């Protein structure tokens, strides 16, 4: 049983996270190698897309093109715009191995306390449930109130389709988010139509 007295929130705001990301990428310096120049250009184009009035955008980048950081740069820059004002970024990824890799990058750039992983490999030690830190992490997985959430397609779409309170209690936080689907083509074909439909309905709300 989670202790209702455990404090929630206390995360850094999106503008602060954007400053951290800018400082993180600034350490790379001016790119000189061809691949790094390409990555830098991709990132610049992603950031430029922050001014878009579209609610649904796509990003196609070859392997090794720096999609992880570029998509995060877009999401944070988009979120701070006055006309958008989003409170968090949600990454939806099909494989837990990719989730763990991306989450490690995000934690390194933004601070581990601002990034929540929610997938089957995340477990909480029952012996430590009295710890406020552990309970705070559990609550963050339940309601997705952290500024950066990295989760599976299963967790995300169950939250949209389920009628169970335990699954749907994060809906209000999803609505204030920039949602990024990584490797979206890997969604099971039999679920593609309902998933695409619910996304279209969601962005039109």
Domains of the chain, earliest start first: 14-204 (3.40.50)
**Residue 106 pLDDT:** 96
**Residue 2 pLDDT:** 46
**Residue 5 pLDDT:** 45
**Residue 24 pLDDT:** 96
Strand boundaries in 27-186, DSSP class E: 88-93, 115-118, 148-152, 177-181
Sheet holding 88-93, edge to edge: 115-118, 148-152, 88-93, 177-181
Give the bridge partners for 178, in sequence order: 89
How far apart, in whole angstroms, are the C-alpha atoms of residue 158 and residue 142? Answer: 12
Tell me the average confidence (pLDDT) per consecutive run of 10 residues in the chain, 205 residues long.
Answer: 53 96 94 92 96 90 92 97 91 88 94 83 55 68 88 90 83 90 88 90 82
pLDDT in tens, 72-86: 999 999 999 988 889
pTM, two decimal places: 0.86
């Amino acid at each position: 049983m989670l202790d209702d007295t455990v404090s929630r929130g206390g995360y850094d705001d999106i503008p602060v996270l954007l400053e951290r990301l800018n400082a993180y990428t600034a350490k790379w310096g001016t790119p000189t190698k061809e691949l790094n120049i390409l990555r830098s250009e991709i990132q610049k184009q992603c950031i430029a897309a922050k001014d878009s009035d579209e609610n649904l955008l796509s990003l196609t980048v070859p392997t090794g093109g720096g999609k992880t950081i570029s998509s995060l740069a877009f999401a944070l820059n988009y979120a701070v715009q006055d006309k958008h004002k989003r409170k968090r970024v949600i990454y939806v990824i099909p494989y837990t191995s990719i989730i763990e890799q991306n989450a490690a990058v995000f934690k390194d750039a933004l601070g581990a306390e601002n990034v929540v992983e929610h997938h089957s490999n995340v477990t909480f030690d029952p012996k430590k449930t009295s710890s406020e830190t552990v309970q705070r992490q559990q609550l963050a997985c339940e309601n997705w109130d952290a500024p950066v959430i990295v989760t599976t397609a299963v967790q995300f779409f169950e939250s949209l389709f389920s009628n169970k309170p335990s699954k749907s209690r994060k809906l209000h936080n999803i609505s204030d988010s920039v949602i990024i689907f990584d490797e979206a083509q890997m969604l099971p074909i039999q679920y593609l139509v309902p998933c695409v439909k619910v996304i279209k309905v969601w962005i039109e709300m």
